[in-house]
Chain A
Amino acid sequence: MRNRPAGRLKVSEDIQVKKLLTISVALAGVAFSTAAMAADIKPAVLYDLGGKFDKSFNEAAYTGAEKFTADTGVAYRDFEIQNDSQREQALRNFAKRGQSPIVAIGFSQANAVEKVAKEFPDTQFAIVDMVVDLPNVRSIVFKEHEGSYIVGMLAAMASETGKVGFIGGMDIPLIRKFACGYKQGALAVNADAEVFENMTGTTGAAWNDPVKGGELAKSQFDRGADVVYHAAGGTGIGVLQAAADAGKLGIGVDSNQNALHPGSVLSSMLKRVDVAVYSAFEDAKNDAWTSGFSVLGLAEGGVDWALDENNEKLITPEMKAAVDKARAGIVSGTITVHDYMADQNCPF
């Protein structure tokens, strides 16, 4: 007898607590969704293993995000992962804190984005370099082969030995796509050109090993190459350094790296990750967010080559004319650049 009322009381207490909890959770949910809808968005960027300041791929994303903050005054959060297991954790943390849109940089984030995007269907996600087919994910991929074709032409025209080199980061299809476009471009100018290809490694560490990058570049110079193009993130710093030290030419990637060693960097293959990040933030801010996937090539301004005061002396009028012609050809469709990822094969 004695116990019963007490027990009942306890049950009702429990119920009340639960009700309170649900209400607060619902409120929180409302708060979050309104935050996502309103103009004052809380964007976030998650960088890949190369790190925010790799002077290349990730730094391009950083530049885009910084520009957005400078233009709109909207602050963003970012995170540099230290190892693979942090990807999911970081994305989930962002989503839990109500950050949206969350832009994940790099193909390696695909699995994590897919998982976390399903858990948070009201949060907007974007991923660069990979396609994740979910209603709340925007996937942005680039036609790197087109830009690489252009710098491949430049390399073959600038080369005196007829031998040019390519140094990739991690050995993955995406990087082979760079290599294949580059090779096709070089061969288009000089059918006898020899193209050396090296990959730095097979793990994520290959994006951040300038010592190895420099050593690979030296080995290519020793074999006769005099222009070397890298698609290796932070590793590429060592490649460009080795080229500058040896009096050869390097070609930068993703960001404009011409200024790293003025006069020793022939050009840079620009991959406008900065534009991708900026427009993702901007679309979210203007309530114009779209999911689905977009492919950005030369025609869309997604890839390009860099010409500025640091390399204008290296680019002769003939080179510029040839490249401009090829560029127009690719845009109009008269020149097709082979996409390695289409059939996992490079026919050259």
Chain B
Amino acid sequence: MFETYLHTMILILDSTVRLSTPLLLACLAGLYSERSGIVDIGLEGKMLGAAFGAGAVGYMTGNAWLGLLAGIGVSIFLALLHGFASITNRGNQIVSGVAINFLAAGLTALLGQSWFRQGGRTPPLPKEGRFQDIELPFAEQVETVPVIGPIYSELLSGHNILVYLAFAAVPLTWWILFRTRFGLRLRAVGENPAAVDTAGISVVWLRYRAVIACGILCGVAGSYLSIAQSSGFIKDMTAGRGFIALAALIFAKWKPGNAMLACLLFGFLDAVAIRLQGQEIPGIGDVPVQFFQALPYILTVILLAGFIGKAIPPKASGVPYLKERT
């Protein structure tokens, strides 16, 4: 009995890891941007653009790495667009972010249709055009070891490289933000840009670097969707993940460790919804599908309303920096 419960739990967690990865990458992307004082609701658009770039190039070249590169390229381009509007031209960051979301949604469908003539989707990718799952060493040998064996071979092993990359990015982000000079300045520019400017450091250049970092991570997130998790780009395939990542960021109070936990929670709820659908739950019976589909949203509302306390954004978040302003 214990064995079956353990097995089910491991499989749900395995699915959680797969589903959380794009959220986590996008959430960390938003973290860099918002910590520097640039509000970014264009995460969704950047992910979508990257998913399309990666899918299209992955299909044409049959090389997953080139696909990833293209995805990151598209995402950085959109990030710089956002930077140009909101840093250089000091425009409204919300408006610019929304514009990027619309731009990506429209352009990907249009280009996809004119290039591939399949209603905005790319054709299914060849095997080499996708990131394959990686078996960690000794995964097969330890499979029979009780408890630890299945955890290692099912849960930790057998994901594609972008999954490991996403989870490695969490401590890396923490280290960059809290242990390097760049991180200190990045946080400072999000709280009090005038002070950073007084110290003789360029606010504009710092913020541009932040949005580029955001672009890179969003690019990986989008590429994960089209060339790792599935096989090819589909119109609107991000399906609101960028916004969920944004919610997770607020949830996490702009801290990398918390961001991982928040994204894992969202992924877990998604995985549970998929797993428990159509299954009898002991003591309750058959629960309607709709309940499980609503569960992530219900919990989000409850958690946001009562359990995490006040989420205070970086002080200069969303405020364009003007040298002359007192």
Contact A51:B119 (CB < 8 A) given known A199-B289, A214-B229, A215-B19: yes
Residues of B within 8 A of A260 (CB): 124
A202 within 8 Å of B by Cβ? yes
B225 within 8 Å of A by Cβ? yes
Number of interface residues of A (CB under 8 A): 29
A210 within 8 Å of B by Cβ? yes
What mask results when residues 198 to 237 of chain A are scored 1 for a CB within 8 Å of chain B, else 0? 1101100100111110111011001000000000001001
Contact A222:B11 (CB < 8 A) given known A52-B119, A201-B293: yes
Is A241 within 8 A of B230, CB to CB?
yes
B142 within 8 Å of A by Cβ? no
Residues of B within 8 A of A114 (CB): none
Number of A-B contacts (CB under 8 A): 61
Contact A202:B293 (CB < 8 A) given known A219-B11, A234-B234: yes
CB contact list, B17-57 vs A, under 8 A? 18-19
Q: How near does chain B come to A55, taking the closest CB pair, in angstroms?
A: 9
CA distance A234 to B277 in the complex (A): 20
A196 within 8 Å of B by Cβ? yes
Residues of B within 8 A of A40 (CB): none
Is A241 within 8 A of B121, CB to CB?
no
Q: How near does chain A come to B129, taking the closest CB pair, in angstroms?
A: 12
A289 within 8 Å of B by Cβ? no
B257 within 8 Å of A by Cβ? no
Q: How near does chain A come to B320, taking the closest CB pair, in angstroms?
A: 35
Interface size grouping (class) on chain B: 20 to 34
Is A210 within 8 A of B230, CB to CB?
yes
Is A198 within 8 A of B277, CB to CB?
yes
Residues of A within 8 A of B86 (CB): none
Contact A241:B124 (CB < 8 A) given known A210-B234, A214-B230: yes
Is A208 within 8 A of B293, CB to CB?
no
Contact A219:B274 (CB < 8 A) given known A199-B289, A209-B239: yes
CA distance A208 to B232 in the complex (A): 13
Contact A80:B119 (CB < 8 A) given known A208-B235, A214-B229: yes
Residues of B within 8 A of A53 (CB): 117-119, 121
Is A237 within 8 A of B289, CB to CB?
no
CA distance A219 to B10 in the complex (A): 12
Is A196 within 8 A of B278, CB to CB?
yes
Residues of B within 8 A of A211 (CB): 225, 229-230, 237, 239
CA distance A189 to B155 in the complex (A): 35
Is A241 within 8 A of B231, CB to CB?
yes
Q: How near does chain B come to A163, taking the closest CB pair, in angstroms?
A: 14
Interface pairs (29), CB distance under 8 Å: A51-B120, A52-B119, A53-B119, A54-B119, A80-B119, A198-B274, A198-B277, A198-B278, A199-B277, A199-B278, A201-B293, A205-B239, A209-B239, A210-B234, A211-B230, A211-B239, A212-B274, A214-B229, A215-B18, A215-B274, A219-B11, A219-B15, A234-B234, A237-B124, A237-B231, A237-B232, A238-B230, A238-B231, A241-B230
Residue positions of A touching B, CB distance < 8 A: 51-54, 80, 171, 196-199, 201-202, 205, 208-212, 214-216, 218-219, 222, 234, 237-238, 241, 260
Known: A51-B120, A53-B118, A219-B274. 17 other contacts (CB 8 A): A51-B119, A52-B119, A196-B278, A198-B274, A198-B278, A199-B277, A208-B235, A209-B239, A210-B230, A210-B231, A214-B229, A214-B230, A215-B19, A219-B15, A219-B275, A238-B231, A241-B124
